[in-house]
Structure 1
Amino acid sequence: MNTTVNMTLQDLGYNNYFEKLRIDNNLKDFEIGRVISEQKERYIVKSEKGEFEAEITGNLRFSAKSRKDFPAVGDWVSLIYHETDFAVINSILPRISTLSRQAVNKFGELQIIASNIDYGLIVQSVNRDFNINRLERYLTLCYTSRIEPIIVITKTDLTDEENLNDLLNKIKIRVKNVPLIPVSNETKEGIDKLKKLLYKGKTYCLLGSSGVGKSSLINSLIGESRMKTANISQSIDRGKHVTTRRELIPMINGAILIDNPGMREVGITDSSLGIESTFEKIYDLAQSCKFSDCTHTSEIGCAVQLAIDNGQIEKSHFENFLKMEREKEHYESAVAEKRRKDKDFGKMIKHYKKTKKSNNF
């Protein structure tokens, strides 16, 4: 899989900070590469020598305690080349950020979306996909990981100016201090404005549901038809799912994009920081509640409920806040229960070994 067109590590986002991590972790004698694709624990890693299929060492697999200990797209890893097109991943450099969500159908477990991300491009379209509650979930994922969000509204050619402005105003009422860029991949309107927010050496992760135009957006940003796209389904008014795996894509201007399969479910984890940032106004108002343990539902003197009654906060915004808080608490409870069971299991194994040893004498 080794390619003839090589890139420098800097083209992939490598900088002095990662070099210091390399030195601090005694990895100077290893090659360094970045995971650009992952599928079923088989990886594609890109280094200055090209692209390589890769797998992890047995030691790395054995010492892994959870999914977080395995490589993810965006990771910087130390490598040992075994063949012209194959390498073994020896270790993972510490991550500067980890974008993750609640694993689907596996409550209490994380699914890593990508690592070492600087910006999250939250993509929604003007048609049936648009959902401001889900947009707030993506914002929470970004804030939790200390990733700067950028909201991109696609397919603006499918609506008129009045409807577009109404949609953008709905976002502005509920979301503050986040860049908001409407674009059309058909007419290219807004693409140049978005390009100005893509900085050399920074890594961007695309976040959004299937069919919002992420692949078309990538093609617009890099100026070529690199990503496969599908036609819009007339019955559901959105594009078909195309991207099937996460993939890192270096761009001409020096920014790095990570494409991501569409996500209909955006499960919340232990995201206290993220929720507080997304619903900052609610948290600020809560400081003025009469009771310090106010649940903001039926208490007398609740500043949040007063703001809802006065129209300062949308009821749907508050309901989304409550739902995500419940999910966070449920996730934290599931994690605590899982840790308790693991601890009990460990004690049982220790007792078994101790008993077995005693019986042998």
Structure 2
Amino acid sequence: MTIQDLGYNDNFEKARSENDLENFEIGRVVAQHKERYIVKNEKGEFEAEITGNLRFSAKSREDFPAVGDWVALLTQDYDFALIHSILPRYSVLSRQAINKFGELQIIASNIDYSIIVQSVNRDFNINRLERYLTLCHASKIEPIIVISKTDLTNEPHLDNLLKKINARVKNIPVIPLSNKTKVGINELKKLLYKGKTYCLLGSSGVGKSSLINSLSGENLMNTDDISKSTDRGKHVTTHRELIPLINGAILIDNPGMREVGIADSPGGLESTFEKIYDLMQDCRFSDCTHTSEKDCAVKLAIENGEIHESYLENYLKMEREKTHYESTIAEKRRKDKNFGKMIKHYKKTKNPDKY
């Protein structure tokens, strides 16, 4: 296997040269376990850690390696490597860090397409689907929607789910499939291109691990049966992992995400809720909140049946999250700046001759 088989291209090689990293080996992070990494290149797989300098210079969690990153490293004996630098990323899929508001959690990097998986049973949620789409649009990543486990439902119910999606989502491939019967698998394979990296997104138990097995033609991932008491699949994947497929595409698996927090998402909401942004232009007031104002074009569209009220409600909820996140970031930066000034003042008072 070459690094090109893992997605390496001329753009990364150019970045390697521009950052004076020619003396280092290059590898891609294929798995992450807290602060330990598995890096892969043409020599094989290596367990890796970051250098102390890289750790010291990191200002936030975004400055640490993530699955999908290309890194400059030095390999050592016993299949071990030290990561010295991260090559510039061309895309970053991220969300709000859980229980750490104001911080980002990188889901994966250097992604071309995202496969959003929802199952036909109790997992299906159009509002959550729009959250995933917003993450993708904000990162300039092309989404593909997969509706899994179609063998568990009948045709009328499936048609109803597809109508709900088509009413609120436009110009995005939607593929119903079954990992059990293999219906729809070939249609999805047609969208997997050599050298492109795909990221799987979805809740626990929607069939992501089974989908990997279907796409690879091998039993690469452990799977569990559906719980009869909850009608849900069990959580199987526990960490992010990069998997090269036979046709040359590269797939990143993710643990199921219960929370999809919207962060700083320029363009994300505008792309997901394009209908609302178009209607806003016709509102009477430029600062219309689309709740109780007179001559609100968005509310009028709901009354006329052009859009569903839940579509607006989901947009407003995510817009509030985005605004709150941005204000939290601004407050965090202000506090960090003030703390820096305090430290500088302390040092100046302690050692006046140096300042």
Aligned to 1:167: 161
Match 1:30 to one of 24, 32, 46: 24
Give distance in 1, aligned partners of 2:174 and 2:344.
Answer: 56
Residue 87, structure 1, aligned to residue 97, structure 2: no
8 Å contact kept, 2:49–2:83: yes
Match 1:300 to one of 284, 291, 294: 294
Give distance in 1, aligned partners of 2:14 and 2:159.
Answer: 47
Match 2:199 to one of 201, 205, 224: 205
Residue 321, structure 1, aligned to residue 315, structure 2: yes
Residue 232 of structure 1: SS of its match in structure 2? coil
Q: Kindly tell me the number of residue pairs found equivalent between the two proteins.
A: 355
Aligned to 2:44: 50
C-alpha distance after superposition, 1:14-51 (max 9, x if no partner): 11111111111111121100000011110000011000
Aligned to 1:358: 352
Aligned to 1:133: 127
Task: Kindly state the Cα deviation for residue 84 of structure 1 after the two structures are TM-superposed.
Answer: 4.0
Task: Kindly state the Cα deviation for residue 297 of structure 1 after the two structures are TM-superposed.
Answer: 1.0
Identical-residue share of aligned pairs (%): 77
Change (3 A) 1:65 1:317: same
Give distance in 1, aligned partners of 2:177 and 2:221.
Answer: 18
Residue 200 of structure 2: SS of its match in structure 1? strand
Task: Kindly state the Cα deviation for residue 358 of structure 1 after the two structures are TM-superposed.
Answer: 3.5
5+ residue gaps, structure 1:
1-6
C-alpha distance after superposition, 1:189-238 (max 9, x if no partner): 00000000000000000000000000000000001111000111111101
Q: Give the counterpart letter for 2:3 in structure 1.
A: L
Q: Give the counterpart letter for 1:133 in structure 2.
A: N
Aligned to 1:69: 63
Q: Give the counterpart letter for 1:120 in structure 2.
A: S
Deviates more, 1:97-106 or 1:350-359: 350-359
Q: Give the counterpart letter for 1:217 in structure 2.
A: L
Give distance in 1, aligned partners of 2:328 and 2:146.
Answer: 34
C-alpha distance after superposition, 1:120-159 (max 9, x if no partner): 1000000000000000000000000000000000000000
Q: Give the counterpart letter for 2:148 in structure 1.
A: T
Give distance in 2, aligned partners of 1:341 and 1:24.
Answer: 34
C-alpha distance after superposition, 1:266-314 (max 9, x if no partner): 0000113100100000000100111111111111111100001111111
Change (3 A) 1:308 1:360: closer
Aligned to 1:276: 270
Give distance in 2, aligned partners of 1:284 and 1:317.
Answer: 14
Aligned to 1:245: 239
Residue 343, structure 1, aligned to residue 337, structure 2: yes
Match 2:97 to one of 87, 96, 103: 103
C-alpha distance after superposition, 1:151-204 (max 9, x if no partner): 000000000111101100100000000000000000000000000000000000
Q: Give the counterpart letter for 2:341 in structure 1.
A: K
Give distance in 2, aligned partners of 1:353 and 1:246.
Answer: 43
Residue 155, structure 1, aligned to residue 149, structure 2: yes
Residue 132 of structure 2: SS of its match in structure 1? helix
The two structures have a TM-score, normalised by structure 1, of 0.97
Deviates more, 1:21-30 or 1:72-81: 21-30
Aligned to 1:4: none
Residue 115 of structure 2: SS of its match in structure 1? strand
Aligned to 2:183: 189
Task: Kindly state the Cα deviation for residue 359 of structure 1 after the two structures are TM-superposed.
Answer: 9.3
5+ residue gaps, structure 2:
none
Give distance in 2, aligned partners of 1:360 and 1:178.
Answer: 60
Give distance in 2, aligned partners of 1:318 and 1:294.
Answer: 13
Give distance in 2, aligned partners of 1:229 and 1:337.
Answer: 44
Residue 233 of structure 1: SS of its match in structure 2? coil
Q: Give the counterpart letter for 1:237 in structure 2.
A: D
The two structures have a TM-score, normalised by structure 2, of 0.99
Match 2:110 to one of 116, 131, 154: 116
**Runs (4+) off by over 3 Å:** 358-361
C-alpha distance after superposition, 1:42-68 (max 9, x if no partner): 000001100000001111000000011
C-alpha distance after superposition, 1:242-281 (max 9, x if no partner): 0000000000000000000000100000113100100000
8 Å contact kept, 2:112–2:196: yes
Give distance in 2, aligned partners of 1:41 and 1:324.
Answer: 31
Aligned to 1:231: 225
Change (3 A) 1:360 1:136: closer
Alignment root-mean-square deviation, CA: 1.2
Give distance in 1, aligned partners of 2:130 and 2:220.
Answer: 30
Aligned to 1:60: 54
Aligned to 1:3: none
Q: Give the counterpart letter for 1:291 in structure 2.
A: F
